Amino acid sequence: MEHENYLGMEEYELEPEVWEEVEKTEQTAFLATIGTPLETDKDIEESLNELERLAETAGIDVLGVYRQRRSTPDRATYFGKGFLTELSQKMMQAQADLLIVNDELSPSQARNIERDFQIKVIDRTEVILYIFHNRAKTREAKLQVRLAELEYQLPRLKRLWEHFDKERGGIRNKGGTATRGMGEKQIEIDKRLITDNIRKINKAIESIQHQKETQRKQREKARKICLVGYTNAGKSTLFNYLTQAGVLVEDKLFATLDSTSRQLKLSTGYPVVLSDTVGFISKLPHHLIASFKATLMEVQDADLLLHIVDVSDERFEYYIQQVNTVLQQIGADSIPQIIIFNKIDKVDSMFPAVVKRRYPEAILISAVNGTNIDKLIAKIEEVLLGNKNLKLKIPYDKTSLVSKLHDIAEILNEDYKEDGIYLEVGISKDDIYLVENYVI
């Protein structure tokens, strides 16, 4: 697959980009956020903790964390001018390389902060894009991340080239008068190049989508289940446990970018395909949601969603809400889902009972040690296949039916008596017609 040409006649070359500069030259940062009146101090603290984890995942050391209470961001500089003046001084004293803002800045806000306060600034979106850039392994993921990067960069070209002119000084002719900076001339060229690359990548991703559509039609008989959840909730660990797939598991944000699919064996033998997907996160950049449509198509096409939640994280209810928001954005909010509270091995023994009272239909598991996986499988069969437990009495002249039930159903109990074969089975609603005359 790696050498496949998704563009037909022309191959789109993915070359190293400017995102690598952050890793090489800018390794320390201050974090800053705005707290609105609707947010509690706890909300703000947790959001900043998540941003700190994102920064660490990107290889950036956090030297300081700051917040400003405002009803709305300043249109010109996002934060207030007094706050930025003080922050600039503190960054200089701490020798912090850059400021990371816990939101997506407009091009003019970033430009104004850098020009007026001499602060090198990046936003939350840039950090997430950088992480995705480094985590993308397959050609599909690389194309999707590159598309998101280009769409993010396009309105920000002026800022990039202002840096270029500033670093090299003003350009003057022989008479000593200033001419247009190289950046001003280059912006128009870059806009054309980026727009052309966006077109090519979209064409490549459409080809991938078409290929996936063909693969899906080939396995149409199989029911499809997708694992979804907030990043680092334990989706890949559960995927490995259920399918023995050996997918990479890391205690890091966005360890999985590519959708991986394997067959899941249920007791009924009904063909089921299970897919692991990219983790969601609050304020997930819309560029990424749009560019990852080929991967997210797996979610949209599912018959059942397994919504994995890290129950050991005290903000788990907020994360449930964030995942459901993304599902709504991609049109997958009407698909049946099972809430699975993972990592019960990390919480107090009394806590699962509290959670179960609030979410009576949920399944509580530990994907690491396999706790309650049998209950999860039973729940999947019940929701996906409408499995029912039935007691049957089958006459001896129908032993071929008993043999068939061993193939398509879960045999819970089997007893051979003088007047017939007594069975207790778990059977799919689609197969009940085979035994409805023998139910007792």
CB atoms within 10 A of CB 26: 15
Pairwise pLDDT comparison (356 vs 159), residue with the higher score: 356
Residue 117 has pLDDT above 50, yes or no: yes
Return the pLDDT at 312: 95
The domain segmentation of the chain, as residue ranges, is: 1-215, 219-385, 388-438
Nearest CA to 301 out of 202, 222, 386, 385 is that of: 222
Return the pLDDT at 403: 92
* Lowest mean pLDDT, pick from 269-278, 302-311, 371-380: 269-278
pLDDT band at 256 (very low <50, low <70, confident <90, very high): low
Pairwise pLDDT comparison (142 vs 21), residue with the higher score: 142
Q: Please give the biggest Cα pair distance in the chain.
A: 113
- Please report where in the chains the tokens 């903000």 appear, as a residue: 315
The mean pLDDT value for 336-362 works out to 95
Return the pLDDT at 65: 96
Cα–Cα distance between 222 and 268 in angstroms, integer?
13
Return the pLDDT at 255: 57
Q: Please check whether residue 386 is in contact with residue 377, taking contact to mean a CB–CB distance below 8 angstroms.
A: no
Long-range contact list for 260-264, CB < 8 A, 24+ apart?
A: 261/298, 263/222, 264/225
pLDDT band at 427 (very low <50, low <70, confident <90, very high): confident
Which CATH superfamily does the domain covering 1-215 fall into? GTPase HflX, N-terminal domain (3.40.50.11060)
Give the sheet arrangement for strand 410-417, strand by strand.
388-394, 420-427, 410-417
Residue 159 has pLDDT above 70, yes or no: no
Return the pLDDT at 250: 58
The mean pLDDT value for 423-428 works out to 88
pLDDT digits (tens, 9 = 90+) for 353-363: 999 999 999 99
- In whole numbers, what is the pLDDT of the chain averaged over residues? 83
Fold for domain 219-385? Answer: Rossmann fold (3.40.50)
Cα–Cα distance between 266 and 404 in angstroms, integer?
16
Going by DSSP bridges, is the β-strand pair 272-276/260-264 parallel, antiparallel, or unpaired?
antiparallel
The mean pLDDT value for 178-189 works out to 62
Return the pLDDT at 217: 64
Going by DSSP bridges, is the β-strand pair 363-364/388-394 parallel, antiparallel, or unpaired?
unpaired
DSSP string, 171-194: -B-TTS-B---HHHHHHHHHHHHH
Per CATH, 1-215 and 219-385 having the same topology is answered: yes
Pairwise pLDDT comparison (384 vs 82), residue with the higher score: 82
Residue 145 has pLDDT above 50, yes or no: yes
Token reading at 173: 């002719």
DSSP assignment letter at 134? H
pLDDT digits (tens, 9 = 90+) for 264-302: 887 767 778 898 887 888 877 777 777 776 667 778 889
For residue 191, the Cα-to-chain-centroid distance in whole angstroms is 29
The mean pLDDT value for 39-53 works out to 91
The mean pLDDT value for 226-234 works out to 91
Return the pLDDT at 137: 78
Burial of 270 (0-12, 13-18, 19+ CB in 10 A): buried
Cα–Cα distance between 354 and 311 in angstroms, integer?
11
Q: Please check whether residue 235 is in contact with residue 260, taking contact to mean a CB–CB distance below 8 angstroms.
A: no
Residue 435 has pLDDT above 90, yes or no: yes
Residue 306 has pLDDT above 70, yes or no: yes
Return the pLDDT at 24: 47
* Lowest mean pLDDT, pick from 121-125, 154-158, 237-241: 154-158
Pairwise pLDDT comparison (388 vs 32), residue with the higher score: 32
